[in-house]
Structure formats: structure tokens, C-alpha cells
Structure 1
Amino acid sequence: MDTPPQIDSPAHDVPAAPASAAATAQRAVTVLIARRVLPAAVADFEAAMQGMLAAAQGFAGHLGGQLMPPDEVGDSAETLLYHVVFAFDSEAHLAAWQSSPERAHWLQQVLPHTVGTQQLHRVTGLDYWFAAPNSTTRAAPPRWKVACVTWLGIFPTVLLLFLTVAPLLAHWHLVPRVLVITLLVVAIMTWVVAPRLTRWLHPWLHAKT
């Protein structure tokens, strides 16, 4: 199995984006982190991670974060695999968080409760929706497949919202009305529609061509 990039300390050496990649640096970027935790340390680990997630919220460009517990917890499990998501609106804002004293502080609170080194994978734009749910190493599917599945999810989601929510907002001004609809679309796609579509269509999305 390929070994994903590993970090075990604050990212003081995050390389700057090359000049030719200036446009890419403006794209939203999501960091997926996998950590193994001893069952006896779960409560302390979760408390420390919640502290880190809360600290990240105060940084410019922060789009969200989430701690995802193991899908299945067996009584005989020696370690439990946790996943953590951090999302920022650009590489520059992500780098500012990764090199911050706040992150360094909370990382030191997290480390005593984990086993081994963390596994880190970065994705940009909509690629987060199409990352394999239990892996930090699988590459995103081809762009044309991403576009197809994204449309397949967005079309019924937007249609449903226009039939149900939009009439309730008819008396609102255009900008707040669009703001609410688009926020709902992103939330529903991220936590409801996209995970199911990518699971159902996984063989096709990741088929070798």
C-alpha cells in the first residue's frame, strides 16, 4: 500500500506556491487527516481535536472543519481510526493556519493521545466530495466524471429547493434569497447527496481506464 505524505509537527516548512500556480492558490483547499487513537485515549483526543477545530475558526479563509469518528468500533480494536477535515479558501490561508502558534499548541495536546504519525491528503475544489471515504491516498476521479456526478447531484437538489424552500423566500430580496438557497445546496451536497452518489457510483468513478 502506498504511504501517504506524513507530518508529525507544525508545518513550518510549507512550500510557497510557485508563481505559475498563482491561480491555483486561490482555489479552496481541503486537508483530510487520519489519526489512530487508543480506545482509552478517545475522550482526551476528541477534546483536544475540538479545541484545534475551534482555534482554526478564527483564521482568515476558514471554511469549516469536522472530526469524524470511526465508522465501526469493535471491542477488540487496538486502535481507532479518526478522520479530521480542515477547509480553507486558499493555499495561503491554509499555510497561515498550519504555521500558526495556535495550531502548534493544539497539535501538542493531540499528539500524546495518538499512535504513529498522521496521514495527510490535500484536495482542491470539489475533489473533496469524490475522495474515497476511508482512504487518504486514492486520487480523485477524472474531471469529466466529477462534472457528471456533480450535475447529477445538484440538479435534483436545486429543483427540490426551488419547489419547497424558494416559495417561502419569495418576499425576500434577491441576494439573501440566493444566499440561502446556495448555502443549502452546498450543505445538502456535502453531507447528504455527494457521499451517497459517490458510494453508489464508486466502481464507475474509480474504474481504471
Structure 2
Amino acid sequence: MTARSGAGHGAGAAAPPRYKTALVSWLSVYPIITLLLWLLGPVVSALPVPVVTLVLTVVLVTLQTYVVMPFMTRLFQPWLRSGTSRAPTREAEHPGGADQAPSWNGPSRR
């Protein structure tokens, strides 16, 4: 399994703040669920609630994952990435060599 975070943004690109991701997700989920309830409401109203929930969530998650979020991410890209900086490199985290493990000598005795 491969990780796709930061794909297309270069290695080390900082992820957008979670509140921005949450807001963009909500901006896409709300219209989808409203549209699904409006279109499928008459069809699924006679079904038990767990079945309705199953149908709506399968459609919602599929649309959200493969259609809507890629579009919304591209649309909101400048805002999502504003105020973020590149993630620190291993060299910046551990000066003197990326392969050296950080050392800890215990509490300071002053």
C-alpha cells in the first residue's frame, strides 16, 4: 500500500491545516447529501433507516472520494496551501546527518 499524501505537491509539502480540510469536506458533503435526499427520498422512504443510510453513504463516499474532493481540492488549492510551509527535512531536524539518531543525555544538571 502506498501513501498518497502530498502527491503532486513535491516531497515534504506541508499538509493543509485540518480546519481547512474539514471546511472543504463539509462544503462538498452538504450539497451532495441534500441532492441525494431530494432525488432518492421518494424511492428510499419506504426502506428501513439502516438500508437508507447504507445506500446514501455508499453513494456519498464514492462521489466524494472520486469526483467531488479532487475537484474541490483543485478549486481551493491556493487557500488550502496558503500559510503552510514545507515540512522540515531530516537534515534540519537532525543537524550533522540525517542518519544519526537524536541523543538524549537526561535532564540538565545546572
TM-score, normalised to structure 2's length?
0.66
**Aligned counterpart in structure 2 of residue 193 of structure 1, from 57, 61, 68:** 68
Matched, 1:134 2:8: yes
Regions of 4+ moved over 4 Å: none
- Please give the alpha-carbon distance, in whole angstroms, between the structure 2 residues aligned to 1:132 and 1:166: 38
Structure 2 residue aligned with 1:163 = 38
Query: Unpaired segments of 5 or more residues in structure 1?
Result: 1-30, 33-120, 123-130
Within-5 A mapping of 1:3-18: none
Query: Unpaired segments of 5 or more residues in structure 2?
Result: 85-110
* CA drift at 1:132: 4.6
* CA drift at 1:182: 0.8
- Please give the alpha-carbon distance, in whole angstroms, between the structure 2 residues aligned to 1:150 and 1:177: 22
Structure (1 or 2) with the greater helix fraction: 2
Matched, 1:180 2:55: yes
* CA drift at 1:135: 4.6
* CA drift at 1:166: 2.5
In our comparison, the structure showing a higher alpha carbon Rg is 2
Structure 2 residue aligned with 1:70 = none
Instruction: Give the number of the structure with larger relative contact order, counting CA–CA contacts within 8 Å between residues 6 or more apart.
Output: 2
- Please give the alpha-carbon distance, in whole angstroms, between the structure 2 residues aligned to 1:197 and 1:132: 16
* CA drift at 1:134: 2.6
Deviations 1:137-188 (A, max 9, x none): 3332101101110110000000010010232111111101111101111001
> How many percent identity over aligned positions?
35
RMSD: 1.9
- Please give the alpha-carbon distance, in whole angstroms, between the structure 2 residues aligned to 1:182 and 1:204: 28
**Aligned counterpart in structure 2 of residue 151 of structure 1, from 20, 26, 32:** 26
* CA drift at 1:208: 2.3
